[in-house]
């Protein structure tokens, strides 16, 4: 379980997060919705230790990780996967090498075992044919699939997805959302997604959080949000 | 009114100056912390040698042609100019010494480092900068891997190892360029030219240039990797930081060369 209590963050005079409190249950898919600049990505990056909060705490499985050193975070992140908005694949590696990289770094698997594992993951995300391609040769959707494969190849228990459908057409958005849901269920991992893609978030998320100007204004299921009387939420999910 | 305007201008100028100085101090501090992180990895033996070899190929082998061309031309021009001047005093045989000593002590280490910085250093800064603006650095951290260890240390180690080799090669090619002119233009007998060259270069001459090169290799790697590692501002930023990397490398090479030359001449002759 991930528990966030009283999280606040500012960059200079600009307050990005204000007293954010949320609990993310094991195995659930939580979608964080909000306008651009509402603080979603910054919040997500706090959960994986890329930012340190000015105030508040982040607890993962009962362990306070707020003030861990970068070296401790590097250890902890081996159990987490992070899908970047643009994929952030290494452009000097092929898709296969990108996905194999975490296995080479953090396991003692032999080359043959790594190949079996990577092939299996690439098949799961539908990229077997693109294994030898470089990221520059892939479409936006393929890049995200490859990045998702890399994020989960170690069997991560938590996956963070930053705007996984941004820049994709509606069909590809639906595909990648379904893939995230399938992967999450199959690996039984906790998944946190930031998005402003309301329809796909409603389809795949167990619960949703709505951010506005760095503050959480609603937490609940799809039905609960639809029943909300808050004007902003009504407008946002319309 | 005029006084008030002048006072306002003075205040603005002061605030710019203060900001410039504080930015400079912060930048220098960050660069030193960055170097500390790199040295920490090296001391702990966290060097990925397979990556280092790849970088040696990319930085070193791919710089050989440009270094060879520039060195040959430098040696030839030095011999041409030297021959014209020395011939006035009837001492054209000393062209060989002039070329060899100039190249080994100063010209090859400094100009070779300039060329290396412009080619390999710019490449380092642009590569790391692009990775940075495309979130690949952050991705490395989220994969539980230290980006300094994975991306910076191999590049800096390769820089440190490859530059001295390139400079020795540059000295040899430069001397050959001088030899070419000495033989075909100044009509110095080949054996005389070779003899004069070998006689003129002492251990001190060779190693003073060599040690400088080791230092320049570290300097270029440090400055260019640091600029690349902290690149901000998208593709525009990559261009700006790469230019800064090369410009700072040049400035630091020139300044440190002056200091190192003085130290070497004082303590070593």
Same structural domain, B26 and B57:
no
Q: Give whole-number Cα distances, A170 to A29, A197, A198, B133, in Å.
A: 21, 10, 12, 27
pLDDT of residue B186: 86
Q: Which residue of A has its CA nearest to B145?
A: A74
Q: Which residue of B has its CA nearest to A86?
A: B134
Are B135 and A73 in contact (CB < 8 Å)?
A: no
Domain that holds residue B56: 51-267
Are B141 and A85 in contact (CB < 8 Å)?
A: no
Q: For tokens 């080949």, name the residue.
A: B190
| Closest by Cα among B25, B33, B21, B22 to B230 | B33
Question: Is pLDDT of A236 > 90?
Answer: no
Cβ contacts (< 8 Å) between B143 and chain A: which residues?
Answer: 77, 101-102, 105, 150
Cβ contacts (< 8 Å) between B141 and chain A: which residues?
Answer: 50, 70, 73-74, 77
Are A101 and B134 in contact (CB < 8 Å)?
A: no
Assigned token pair, B247:
């410009």
Cβ contacts (< 8 Å) between A106 and chain B: which residues?
Answer: 144
**Tens of pLDDT along A87-101?**
899 999 999 999 999
Question: Is pLDDT of A103 > 70?
Answer: yes
Q: What band does B7 get if pLDDT is binned at 50, 70 and 90?
A: confident
Same structural domain, B122 and B199:
yes
Same structural domain, B69 and B36:
no
A159 touches chain B (CB under 8 A): no
Instruction: Looking at the complex, report in whole angstroms how far the Cα of residue A161 sits from the nearest Cα belonging to chain B.
Output: 12
Cβ contacts (< 8 Å) between A50 and chain B: which residues?
Answer: 138, 141-142
Same structural domain, B139 and B259:
yes
Which one of B142, B144, B146 has the shortest CB-CB distance to A106? B144
Same structural domain, B91 and B25:
no
A86 touches chain B (CB under 8 A): yes
| Closest by Cα among B228, B51, B163 to A92 | B51
Edge-to-edge strands, sheet with A215-220: A80-83, A158-162, A190-195, A29-34, A207-212, A215-220
Are A88 and B138 in contact (CB < 8 Å)?
A: yes
Same structural domain, B76 and B16:
no
Same structural domain, B71 and B130:
yes
pLDDT of residue B240: 95
Interface test with B, best of A77, A88, A107 (most B CBs within 10 A): A88
**Tens of pLDDT along B150-165?**
999 999 999 999 999 9
Domain count across chain B: 2
**Tens of pLDDT along B14-36?**
998 999 899 889 989 999 999 99
**What b/e string do you get for B135-155 counting C-beta neighbours within 10 Å, with b at 16 or more?**
bbbbbbbbbbbbbbbbbbbbb
Domain boundaries of chain A, sorted by first residue: 2-90+156-237
Same structural domain, B140 and B41:
no
- pLDDT above 70: percentage of residues in chain B: 99
Cβ contacts below 8 Å, chain A against chain B, sum to 51
Reported as type and span, the H/E element at residue B128 is helix B122-133
User: Looking at the whole model, is its pTM more than 0.80?
Assistant: yes
Q: What band does B71 get if pLDDT is binned at 50, 70 and 90?
A: very high
A134 touches chain B (CB under 8 A): no
Give the span between the Cα atoms of B116 and B166, in whole angstroms: 9
DSSP characters for chain A?
A: -EEEEEEEEEETTEEEEEEEEEEE-TT-EEEEEE-TTSSHHHHHHHHTTSS--SEEEEEETTEE-TT--HHHHHHHGGGEEEE-TT----TTS-HHHHHHHHHHHH----HHHHHHHHHHHHHHTT-GGGTT--GGGS-HHHHHHHHHHHHHTT--SEEEEESTTTTS-HHHHHHHHHHHHHHHHHHT-EEEEEES-HHHHHHH-SEEEEEETTEEEEEE-HHHHHT---HHHHHHH-
Are B135 and A105 in contact (CB < 8 Å)?
A: no
List phi, psi (to 5°) of A14: -85, 115
The CATH T-level fold of domain A2-90+156-237 is Rossmann fold (3.40.50)
pLDDT of residue B1: 58
Cβ contacts (< 8 Å) between B123 and chain A: which residues?
Answer: none
Question: Is pLDDT of B248 > 70?
Answer: yes
Question: Is pLDDT of A155 > 90?
Answer: no
A143 touches chain B (CB under 8 A): no
**Tens of pLDDT along B103-129?**
999 999 999 999 999 999 999 999 999
Are A80 and B142 in contact (CB < 8 Å)?
A: yes
Are B138 and A81 in contact (CB < 8 Å)?
A: no
Give the span between the Cα atoms of B186 and B196, in whole angstroms: 14
Same structural domain, B190 and B233:
yes
Contacts of B147 (CB under 8 A, 6+ apart): B137, B140, B141, B229
Question: Is pLDDT of B47 > 70?
Answer: yes
Average pLDDT taken over every residue of chain A: 91
Which residues, in sequence order, are bridge partners of residue A121?
none
Q: What band does B87 get if pLDDT is binned at 50, 70 and 90?
A: confident
Cβ atoms of B144 and A102 within 8 Å: the answer is yes
The interface pTM score, or ipTM, of the predicted complex is 0.89
**Tens of pLDDT along A11-32?**
988 999 999 999 999 999 999 9
- pLDDT above 90: percentage of residues in chain B: 77
* Average pLDDT value for residue range A28-52: 91
Residues in B 127-166 with any Cβ partner in A closer than 8 A: 130-131, 134-136, 138-139, 141-146
pLDDT of residue B269: 65
Instruction: Looking at the complex, report in whole angstroms how far the Cα of residue A194 sits from the nearest Cα belonging to chain B.
Output: 16
Same structural domain, B37 and B55:
no
Same structural domain, B151 and B196:
yes
pLDDT of residue A169: 86
Same structural domain, B181 and B213:
yes
| Closest by Cα among A54, A71, A49 to A19 | A54
Cβ contacts (< 8 Å) between A102 and chain B: which residues?
Answer: 143-144
Reported as type and span, the H/E element at residue B170 is helix B153-184
Give the span between the Cα atoms of B130 and A238, in whole angstroms: 39
């Amino acid at each position: 379980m991930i528990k966030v209590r009283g999280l606040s963050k500012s960059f200079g005079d600009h307050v990005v997060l204000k007293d954010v409190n949320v609990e993310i249950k094991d195995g659930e898919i939580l979608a964080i919705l909000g306008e651009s600049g509402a603080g979603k990505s910054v919040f997500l990056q706090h959960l994986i230790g890329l930012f340190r909060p000015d105030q508040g705490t982040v607890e993962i499985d009962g362990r306070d990780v707020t003030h861990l050193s970068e070296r401790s975070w590097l250890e902890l992140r081996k159990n987490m996967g992070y899908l970047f908005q643009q994929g952030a694949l290494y452009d000097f590696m092929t898709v296969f090498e990108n996905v194999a990289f975490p296995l080479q770094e953090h396991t003692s698997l032999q080359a043959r075992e790594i190949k079996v594992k990577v092939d299996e993951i690439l098949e799961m995300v539908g990229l077997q044919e693109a294994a030898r391609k470089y990221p520059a040769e892939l479409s936006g959707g393929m890049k995200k699939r490859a990045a998702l494969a890399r994020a989960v190849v170690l069997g991560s228990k938590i996956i963070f997805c930053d705007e996984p459908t941004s820049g994709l057409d509606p069909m590809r958005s639906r595909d990648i959302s379904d893939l995230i849901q399938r992967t999450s269920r199959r690996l039984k991992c906790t998944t946190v997604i930031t998005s402003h893609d309301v329809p796909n978030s409603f389809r795949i998320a167990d619960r949703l959080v709505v951010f506005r100007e760095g503050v959480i204004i609603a937490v609940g299921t799809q039905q609960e949000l639809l029943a909300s009387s808050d004007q902003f939420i009504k407008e946002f999910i319309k | 009114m005029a006084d008030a305007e002048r006072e306002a201008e003075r205040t603005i100028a002061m605030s710019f100056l203060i900001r410039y100085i504080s930015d400079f101090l912060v930048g220098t501090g960050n660069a030193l912390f960055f170097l500390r992180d790199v040295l920490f990895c090296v001391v702990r033996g966290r060097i990925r040698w397979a990556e280092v070899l790849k970088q040696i190929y990319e930085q070193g082998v791919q710089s050989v042609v440009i270094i060879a061309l520039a060195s040959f031309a430098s040696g030839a021009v030095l011999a041409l100019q030297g021959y014209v001047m020395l011939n006035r005093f009837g001492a054209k045989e000393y062209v060989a010494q002039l070329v060899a000593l100039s190249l080994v002590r100063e010209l090859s280490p400094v100009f070779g480092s300039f060329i290396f910085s412009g080619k390999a250093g710019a490449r380092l800064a642009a590569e790391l900068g692009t990775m940075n603006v495309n979130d690949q650095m952050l991705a490395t951290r989220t994969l539980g891997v230290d980006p300094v260890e994975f991306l910076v240390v191999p590049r800096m180690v390769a820089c440190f190892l490859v530059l001295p080799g390139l400079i020795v090669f540059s000295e040899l090619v430069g001397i050959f360029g001088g030899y070419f002119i000495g033989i075909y233009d100044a009509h110095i007998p080949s054996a005389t030219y070779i003899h004069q060259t070998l006689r003129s270069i002492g251990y001190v001459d060779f190693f003073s240039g060599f040690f400088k090169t080791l230092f320049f290799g570290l300097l270029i790697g440090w400055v260019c990797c640091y600029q690349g590692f902290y690149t901000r501002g998208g593709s525009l930023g990559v261009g700006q930081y790469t230019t800064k990397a090369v410009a700072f490398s040049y400035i630091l090479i020139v300044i440190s060369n002056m200091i190192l030359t003085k130290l070497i001449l004082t303590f070593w002759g």
